[in-house]
Amino acid sequence: MSEPFVEVVDEATLQERVAQLGSEISADYEGTPPIVVGVLKGSLPFMTDLVKHLPFGVELDFLSLTRFGHHGRVSLAMDTSLSMDGRDVLIVEDIVDTGLTLTTLRRLMEVKGARDVRTVALLDKATRRIVDVPVEYRGFEVGDEFLLGYGLDWEGRFRNVRSLWGVMDLKTLADEPQLFAQKVFGEGALIRGVAAAR
Ligand code: 5GP
């Protein structure tokens, strides 16, 4: 039987690419530090690593969105707190898929008065795009498999996995999530709702 879970990008490669993105961004924003806006919760590990590579005094802000249905409407669950008026804003996304979320976010930053809005996305599922939306900085272009780890979740779990995994068999993940937990965290790894002893 083929492997249900495959490591798509290992930790060292992720960290190396994040550092490169940091250098690119630093060069472009020289002299005008942006507000870096993280989209919760998926961008958290990536944003934490990325901002360590920005050698200027950035301000951080966050927002969170709720999505209704897979291609459905997006609404704001938590808004940013800083004034964006006249500022350069860098949106940090984990992954751009259809592009609908990012389109909404960019508009929102413009409505808040941002002077310039750019996006850094760790991952880009470019072949799945429904709306054309600019992504100024991208880490990796990926295929259309379901990805997990380094911010990306399954049912709210596994965002803390240090590398990026592709799920080849979603049914195995749904039926036995502890198999994935053991693979990435080692034998005896616990996850909520699954009995420890099996
Ligand atoms: P879009 O609006 O571009 O279709 O959706 C982007 C959002 O979809 C991401 O922020 C992420 O929450 C979710 N998403 C897209 N592809 C994946 C994936 O492969 N794995 C996970 N866990 N979430 C994904």
The amino acid that residue 101 corresponds to is T
Q: Is 101 in the pocket of ligand 1 (CB under 6 A)?
A: yes
124 is catalytic: no
Q: Is 167 in the pocket of ligand 1 (CB under 6 A)?
A: no
pTM of the model: 0.94
Q: How far apart are CA 21 and CA 19, in angstroms?
A: 5
Q: Is 128 in the pocket of ligand 1 (CB under 6 A)?
A: no
Q: Which residue's CA is the nearest one to ligand 1's atom 15?
A: 97
Write down the pLDDT at residue 119.
98
Starting from the edge strand earliest in sequence, which strands make up the sheet with 59-67, in order?
74-78, 59-67, 35-40, 88-96, 116-124, 137-141
Residues of the chain with pLDDT under 50: 196-198
Write down the pLDDT at residue 71.
64
Q: How far apart are CA 97 and CA 125, in angstroms?
A: 5
Q: Which atom of ligand 1 is nearest to the CA of 39?
A: 10
In terms of DSSP H, where are the helices of the chain? Answer: 11-28, 44-51, 100-111, 170-175, 177-185
CATH number assigned to the domain covering 12-143: 3.40.50.2020
Distance 193 CA to ligand 1 centre (A): 24
Write down the pLDDT at residue 197.
42
Annotated domain spans of the chain: 12-143
Q: How far apart are CA 45 and CA 41, in angstroms?
A: 9
Q: Is 4 in the pocket of ligand 1 (CB under 6 A)?
A: no
